[in-house]
Amino acid sequence: MKVLRSKEYVVHLKEDLKARVLQLKQRGVYPNVVVLLVGEDAASKAYAKMKGKIADQLGISYQLEEMPATVTTEEMIAKIHALNADENVHGVMVEMPLPKSLNEEEIIQSLDPQKDMDGIHPMNMGYLLKGQGHTLPNTPLAAMALLELGKVDLEGKIALVVGRSNIVGKPLAQLLLGKNATVMMCHSRTPHLEEWTRQADVLCVACGQSRLIKADMVKEGAVVIDIGMNYDDETGKLTGDVDFEKVAEKASLITPVPGGVGPVTTVMIFKQLLDRLEAKEKA
Ligand code: NDP
């Protein structure tokens, strides 16, 4: 068994991105992103702050705009339209989840697809479906980057994704398909989950259920990518969706939580921003 930790990879990636930011600045492009944060959700605040820290490390200008939970959908859309029109703003992120009072879908659709840093605009999702990914959702992209780092050949393998959210499970399945894996998807309505997971050569888990995947649910020698991030209410400790210690004894390769997919996701946000800015220069 090999534990695929992302720390070193993230350090290299950040160094590379820092150099690319410098080069862009030398050519007169100053990468600048805006994050819209609504309400007081502690996890969203912490995530927005962490992204700000990484942007700062990379030399990317990062503006966090906090809005009260009483903001209306129309006000949010007006704000996003103004950011879409501002040519000094290169990327916009709306911190999710939004308060239930807001129309999330309308807000997502108001984003300029070219500035959609999370790859959640329907146009970007459509490109993904066609295998012509422009901006992709960052977490699936991070999972794919780790599979590549671990030199996992996906061609012809059975890859199973547990979880079918629009932001993680579905796009990840699409990306695995793009690498010629035979892809299966499971979700909360899948009976006898273990009968499916045991077939997987590559098991990717994103269901938000702490340590759901036990060793007896995993094929001997499988590659296991744990995307889950669950905070224990009592200890505050971060756990994945996989029972790491026991599953690690059976897996040929496994990503830990923390220290696996999560840190790569945050850096992917900025990597994709720079990819877009460089492509725009060349166009
Ligand atoms: P969602 O809650 O949107 O989706 C969870 C998915 O898991 C749903 O499709 C749900 O099925 C499925 N599911 C829930 N319970 C079970 C179960 N018992 N058996 C099988 N499937 C189940 O979560 P996200 O996709 O946004 O996130 C998933 C996990 O990934 C979370 O732990 C989240 O914190 C983490 N995450 C990690 C990131 C990172 O950077 N590492 C970034 C984003 C998320 P159904 O559709 O039927 O309800």
C-beta of 164 in contact with ligand 1 (< 6 A):
yes
Listed residue (283, 272, 281) closest to 60, CA to CA: 272
The confidence band for 99, taking pLDDT boundaries of 50, 70 and 90, is very high
The confidence band for 236, taking pLDDT boundaries of 50, 70 and 90, is confident
Q: What is the per-residue pLDDT for 1?
A: 78
Same domain, 246 and 175: yes
In a domain, 195, yes or no: yes
Chain position carrying tokens 């649910």: 217
Same domain, 98 and 168: no
CA–CA distance, 177 with 182 (Å, rounded to integer): 7
CA–CA distance, 32 with 53 (Å, rounded to integer): 14
Longest dimension (CA), the chain: 56
C-beta of 262 in contact with ligand 1 (< 6 A):
yes
Indicate the residue type of 123.
M
Same domain, 171 and 211: yes
In a domain, 160, yes or no: yes
Q: What is the per-residue pLDDT for 144?
A: 98
The confidence band for 134, taking pLDDT boundaries of 50, 70 and 90, is confident
Average pLDDT over residues 240-256: 98
Q: Respond yes or no on whether the N-terminal peptide bond of residue 31 is cis (omega within 30° of 0).
A: no
Same domain, 146 and 97: no
Same domain, 94 and 164: no
C-beta of 143 in contact with ligand 1 (< 6 A):
no
Q: What is the pLDDT of residues 27-82, one digit of tens each?
A: 999 999 999 999 999 889 999 999 999 999 999 999 999 999 999 999 999 999 99
Q: For residue 48, give the CATH number of its domain.
A: 3.40.50.10860
In this predicted structure, the answer to whether residue 129 has a pLDDT above a threshold of 80 is: yes
Question: Are 203 and 224 contacting, i.e. CB atoms less than 8 angstroms apart?
Answer: yes
211 labelled binding-site residue: no
Same domain, 67 and 182: no
- H/E segment holding residue 168: none
Same domain, 175 and 92: no
- Which region holds residue 259: left if phi is over 0, alpha if psi is between -120 and 50, else beta? left
In a domain, 252, yes or no: yes
Question: Are 33 and 92 contacting, i.e. CB atoms less than 8 angstroms apart?
Answer: yes
CA–CA distance, 24 with 187 (Å, rounded to integer): 42
In a domain, 67, yes or no: yes
> What atom of ligand 1 comes closest to residue 212's alpha carbon?
18
pTM, whole model, 2 decimals?
0.96
In a domain, 123, yes or no: no
CA–CA distance, 154 with 140 (Å, rounded to integer): 15
In a domain, 3, yes or no: no
Name which residue sits closest to atom 19 of ligand 1, judged by CA: 188
Q: What is the pLDDT of residues 138-196, one digit of tens each?
A: 999 999 999 999 999 999 999 999 999 999 999 999 999 999 999 999 999 999 999 99
Q: Which token pair is 276? A: 């877009």
Residue count of the chain, please give it. Answer: 283
Indicate the residue type of 59.
G
Of the chain, the percentage scoring pLDDT greater than 90 comes to 94
Average pLDDT over residues 84-99: 97
Q: For residue 164, give the CATH number of its domain.
A: 3.40.50.720
Chain position carrying tokens 């997502």: 108
Q: What is the per-residue pLDDT for 106?
A: 98
Note down the domain range covering 165.
Answer: 138-261
**How many structural domains is the chain composed of?**
2
Which ranges constitute the DSSP H helices of the chain?
Answer: 7-26, 42-58, 73-85, 104-110, 122-129, 138-149, 169-178, 193-197, 244-248, 261-282
Q: What is the per-residue pLDDT for 43?
A: 86
Indicate the residue type of 192.
H
Average pLDDT over residues 203-220: 98
Same domain, 243 and 147: yes
Q: What's the mean pLDDT when you consider all of the chain? A: 96
In a domain, 163, yes or no: yes
CA–CA distance, 134 with 37 (Å, rounded to integer): 24
In a domain, 281, yes or no: no
Q: Which token pair is 9? A: 């990879």
From 165, 197, 261, 267, the mutation candidate for ligand 1 (largest count of ligand atoms within 8 A of CB) is 165
